[in-house]
Amino acid sequence: LYIAAGSPSTVEWAGAHLVGMLSASGSPANIRAKWDAYRQAGLAAGHPAEAVEEALGRSWVVKHIHVAEDDETAVAEAGPRFIWYFNLMANRRMFDGPNNTQPLEWWQERGACYFGSPETVAAKLQAWHEASGVTNTLCWMNTGGMPTAQVLDSVRLFGQQVIPRFAPRATTERF
């Protein structure tokens, strides 16, 4: 069982009940604060530290990901669709964004989306992991109604060239 957890009260409830979280992407500091609040709530509810950490190990953060052969192509394909999607206020709020619209660069700087070559996306995911401490990332590969061929190409490149950088023993035969 997982719960979408963005508000402080939901994060605390999840921690008190050791329910895995799915949290929208935010800055590493924002996500660290959510994970810390989860830990505190779990410990305050009387759960052993090991159980709290195991539950956090089952928690995820969502990132919008698009991989293409080079950075420029990835941004050109995904950027306008991402901005269309995030110009809807409910979607901005879900991802810890402001009430007003922001340019793509604003979202990229805070780590809501990683669009680029396999090398760029892998480096950004590695830096995200190191800065946030989060080990599970749910990759949202189809932002704003992208053409199926672009999504499938992105998934293929992610499977063949990004995943192996994190799991050297992972097979790429299925991709």
| Cα distances (angstroms) measured from residue 146 to each of 67, 85, 122, 149, 154 | 13, 11, 21, 8, 11
Q: Say how many Å lie between the first and final Cα of the chain, rounded.
A: 28
Q: Which amino acid is at 175?
A: F
User: What pLDDT does residue 175 have?
Assistant: 46
Residues of the chain with pLDDT under 70: 89-98, 168-175
pLDDT at 51: 97
What pLDDT does 95 receive?
Answer: 61
Q: Cα 109 from chain centroid?
A: 14
